[in-house]
Amino acid sequence: MNWSIASILVSLSAFGVAYYLYTWVKAQPSSNKEIARIGDYIRRGANAFLAREYKLLAVFVLVVAALIFLTLPNPIWQEEASVKTNLFTALSYVAGSIFSALAGKIGIFVATLANVKSAEAATKGIRPAFMAGIQRRCSYGHGCCWIESAWGYCCDAADPGSYLNAGFQLWSVFIGSLC
C-alpha cells in the first residue's frame, strides 16, 4: 500500500468531516445584532493580530529556511552534500509554514464565527452553546491534524532520513493533541 496516497485520502475525508461540522455551525441562528457587532470587533482584532504576527514570522521563516538550506541534512560545503536535497528540505519547511499560517487564518475565521453562534445559542441554554462550540473545535482541529499528518507521511516517502520529517511528525503530534 502506498502510504502517501493513503494519508492524503484520510486527510481529504477529514476535511469532508470538518466541512460538514463547519456548515452545521454556520447554519446555527444568529439574529442578535449586539452579539454580531461584538463578534465583528473580535474578528477584526484577531485578523489584525494575525497580520502583524505573520509579517514577523515571514522574516523568521526565511531566515530559518536559509539555515536549513545551508546545513540540513548535510552542510552544502561538504562533498557528500546534495544541494537538491537541502533545497527540498528548505522548501518543505517553507511549505509547512505556509500551511500552518493558512490553518491559523482558517481557524480564526471559524472560531470568530462560532463565537457569535455560541453566544447566540447560550441565550437558549447550555446544551446549544456547548454543541456550537464543540462543533467548531472539531471542524478546525480535525482538518489541521490530518493535513499535517499527511504532509509528514509524504516527506517520509520522499526522504525517509530527513531531519525535516522528524519535525513534521512532532508537529503532527502537537496538532493531533489539539484535536
Biggest CA-to-CA distance, the chain: 69
Min mean pLDDT across 11-20, 74-83, 113-122 is at 11-20
Rounded Cα distance, 77 and 74, in Å? 8
Domain boundaries, the chain: 3-178
The pLDDT tens digits of the residues spanning 37-47 come to 999 999 999 99
The pLDDT tens digits of the residues spanning 79-95 come to 888 899 999 989 989 98
Q: CA neighbours within 13 Å on the CB side: how many for 69?
A: 13
Q: Which of 141, 67, 132 shows the shortest CA–CA distance to 104?
A: 141
pLDDT greater than 60 at residue 172? no
Rounded Cα distance, 109 and 11, in Å? 20
Q: Report pLDDT for 145.
A: 52
Residue 115, Cβ neighbours under 10 Å: how many?
19
- pTM listed for this prediction: 0.67
Q: Report pLDDT for 114.
A: 82
Q: Which of 57, 89, 58 shows the shortest CA–CA distance to 75?
A: 89
Where does residue 94 rank: exposed (0-12), middle (13-18), buried (19+ CB within 10 A)?
Answer: middle
Q: Phi and psi dihedrals of 81, rounded to 5?
A: -75, 150
